[in-house]
Copies of this chain bind each other. A is one copy, B any other.
Amino acid sequence: MGEERLGTEVRREQIAEAALALISERGLGGLSVAAVARRVGLVPSAIYRHFEGKEGVVDAVVGLIRDRLLRNVREACTEADDALDCLRRILTRHVQLIRNNVGVPRVVFSEELYASRPGRKGEVHAVVAGYLASVAEVIRRGQAAGCIRPGLEPGTLAVMFLGLVQPSAILWHLSDGQFDVTKHTQRAWEVFRGAIEAPGRPQPSQRRESGSEGEMS
């Protein structure tokens, strides 16, 4: 059809992204080499020029997810010095990521992807653990700087932080976009911040550009 010849590196990226998009739109069951091929404008057998097979494609999807998750944290951290500000930015990005790719939680929760290739579960676990470790590191930094209450396990807070996004994602997905993720995230963040912010000490750094600063009813 298109028969537009491209390098295998480009194709591999296209294929991985197409696969993640398909998982997001139709679920894991909608991920077939045929569907992936159609989405990239190829014929099914052409996929095997760039990947060993379906498993290889899935591996690439996992890699894609890892890259995007970690990029979020990295970029958010370079944008802000204050730990709380940094967390806030990670949160926003994370919500955006999940909104655009419901496939991410689906891959993480999946078992069929793990059953077909042992070891993959460990890889995904490492991805999530790495993400949590980064968040925990930000929190630790905040505690050292005095803007986050000490005496709270950074690991626990990191997991809770993750929990700020997940249910929103579910509701947004189930309600076909009706649920206002942005508004909920703002409110939930305020509550969470209230729980972890160091008391008394209105943190030394400037609070610019934060948006909703007041209480919300």
Query: Which residues of A are interface residues toward B (Cβ below 8 A)?
Result: 24-30, 102, 105-106, 108-115, 121, 124-125, 128, 151-153, 156-157, 159-160, 162-168, 170-171, 173-176, 184, 187-188, 191-192, 194-196, 215-217
Q: Is the CB of A111 within 8 A of B167?
A: no
Q: Is the CB of B28 within 8 A of A29?
A: yes
Q: Which residues of B contact A194 (CB under 8 A)?
A: 195
A209 to chain B, nearest CB (A): 22
Q: With A160-B163, A195-B191 as given contacts, are A125 and B174 in contact (CB-CB < 8 Å)?
A: yes
Least CB separation from A160: chain B residue: B188
Q: Is the CB of B171 within 8 A of A167?
A: no
Q: With A115-B27, A160-B163, A164-B163 as given contacts, are A108 and B191 in contact (CB-CB < 8 Å)?
A: no
Q: Which residues of B contact A102 (CB under 8 A)?
A: 109, 111
Given A105-B109, A121-B174, A192-B195, 17 more contacts at CB 8 Å?
Answer: A25-B111, A26-B112, A26-B115, A27-B113, A27-B114, A27-B115, A28-B110, A29-B29, A29-B112, A30-B111, A102-B109, A106-B110, A109-B173, A128-B170, A159-B171, A163-B188, A195-B195
Q: Is the CB of A27 within 8 A of B112?
A: yes
How far, in angstroms, from A217 to B30 measured CA to CA in the complex? Answer: 46
Q: How many copies does the complex hold?
A: 2
How far, in angstroms, from A151 to B188 measured CA to CA in the complex? Answer: 13
Q: Which residues of B contact A174 (CB under 8 A)?
A: 108, 121, 124-125, 128
Q: Is the CB of A159 within 8 A of B173?
A: no
Q: Which residues of B contact A121 (CB under 8 A)?
A: 174, 176
